[in-house]
Amino acid sequence: MRTPRTDRGRLLLVLALATVVAVFTATVPLLRDWFDLRVYYGTVHTWLHHGGRIYDYQVPGTTYGFTYPPFAAVSMAPMGYLGLGTAIAGALVLNLAALAAVLRILAGPDWRRHGWFGWALVACGLALFEPLRDTFSFGQVNLLLLALVLGDGWLLSTGRGRWAGVGIGLAAAVKLTPALFIGLLLVARRWRAAAVATAVALGATGLAALVVPDASRFYWTRAMWDTTRVGRLDYVSNQSLQGVLARLGETGRPLWATVVLIVLCVWAVRARRAVVAGDWIAAFALTGLTACLVSPITWVHHLVWLLPSFAVLIRTGRRRIAGGLYAVMCTSVVWLWFNDASGIDGFLGSNTYTWITLGLLLWLPTGQALDDRAPLSRNATTTAPAPSAAAATIAAVSAQPGPSSSGTTAAATGTAVTGAGAGPGVGPARNASSEPTGSTRPTAAKPQSSSSRASSYTVKPPPA
């Protein structure tokens, strides 16, 4: 299949793909009704206007409340002076800006080469990526943190390392998982950047301790160690190593700690190799993969940290692999085992995203710095066909010959970032669920499920 050669034909193709993607996202995946954003909003609103305590608030009708460090609540305080609708709009704008920054960094210096057509196809492909669409629909913060962290990677890779570490420090103060990137700076022997990141993280945490001392004391002594505040370890959305073990019935800390230690050792060796070769994007990609694996709970929407890995695969010529893995992560396949993850099929299927993450950690190509990579062939065939019209068209873009201004070669996911968009999900449209970490699946009574939708929350939450 060849892509249109005229701008009019390309515009019609983009409009057709956008329509398919819009219908798919409106009917097949569950829209999360900004659940996590409502948690943030309700927490700061109750804290600022009703004298409630940050870690006591719960979304009405649910058992879910704030689980991030106190600095996250302090940084979200301006939200408490906005209406809920304005806060949702602001979150959308911030996430879109963060996604644009992430794509710009991962695309490299020749990002303009792909033109409007290539980037339009990229947008269609990204809209199908389950972690990304859930991040937007939940109103999550992971894209913002990814942009902060990759900003430091860009500074280091371009020789502007004087301010490197600030983004990582802020991200680590908002959420604990990005603190592993401070470890990357230590592995890379970037002592100044590591010191800056640590100082920023400690400074932000100290500021929160001054503003909300009681909440800080409670979080660092109790809440941080209580994973039940976040959700069930064995819930299928938990695609971390701890989630795999929990679904096997292994909840002991010693086994999990041993597995985590092994993974960290593998990460340290591979990340150091990437840094020595000057391949900072690969080093940051490996660290994002490892953070998802070793975190006790990694919900599906946290897997936006895998986006740099797809960029590395495509940059190093593994476009078919990138397209295939990306396609799988568009299908919501893990939810087929929502009710029963027993047996060999449950072990393999319910942990599909974990296996992808682990495989990328072990085999992601390293050692090819962005500025030294060989130019990609305009006539190369890229991604493997995926089960959607959008994906098939994206794969065809890279086979387009001639000096088109559209950005051939991996225009959809190629050097631009992600792998091919993928399939239309699993099964027909389903009823929305109140489970804040749910996906394409039927509603079921589970300990985590709330008895009413998050939309029952109003702009005037009851005092905690």
pLDDT tens sequence across 68-124: 999 999 999 999 999 999 999 999 999 999 999 999 999 877 767 767 777 787 788
Res 323 pLDDT > 70: yes
Residue 389's pLDDT is 39
Mean pLDDT of the chain: 79
Residue 28's pLDDT is 60
Residue 23's pLDDT is 76
Residue 461's pLDDT is 42
Residue 29's pLDDT is 60
- Give the lowest-confidence range in 56-60, 364-368, 419-423: 419-423
Residue 42's pLDDT is 93
Residue 454's pLDDT is 35
Q: pLDDT-derived band of residue 363, with 50, 70 and 90 as boundaries? A: very high
Which pTM was predicted? 0.78
Q: pLDDT-derived band of residue 151, with 50, 70 and 90 as boundaries? A: very high
pLDDT tens sequence across 205-256: 999 999 999 999 999 998 888 777 787 889 999 999 999 999 999 878 899 9
Judge contact between 307 and 418, C-beta under 8 A.
yes
**CA distances (Å), origin 251, targets 242, 248, 345, 347:** 8, 8, 21, 16
Res 384 pLDDT > 80: no
Res 429 pLDDT > 60: no
Res 17 pLDDT > 90: no
Res 415 pLDDT > 50: no
Of 87-91, 259-263, 399-403, give the range with the top mean pLDDT: 259-263
Residue 11's pLDDT is 80
Residue 416's pLDDT is 38
Residue 232's pLDDT is 86
Residue 458's pLDDT is 35
Res 272 pLDDT > 60: yes
Residue 368's pLDDT is 63
Residue 1's pLDDT is 56
Residue 46's pLDDT is 92
pLDDT above 90 coverage of the chain, percent: 54
Compute the average pLDDT of residues 138-164: 91
Residue 30's pLDDT is 62
Judge contact between 283 and 361, C-beta under 8 A.
no
Compute the average pLDDT of residues 442-460: 36
Q: Which residue has the higher pLDDT, 358 or 377?
A: 358
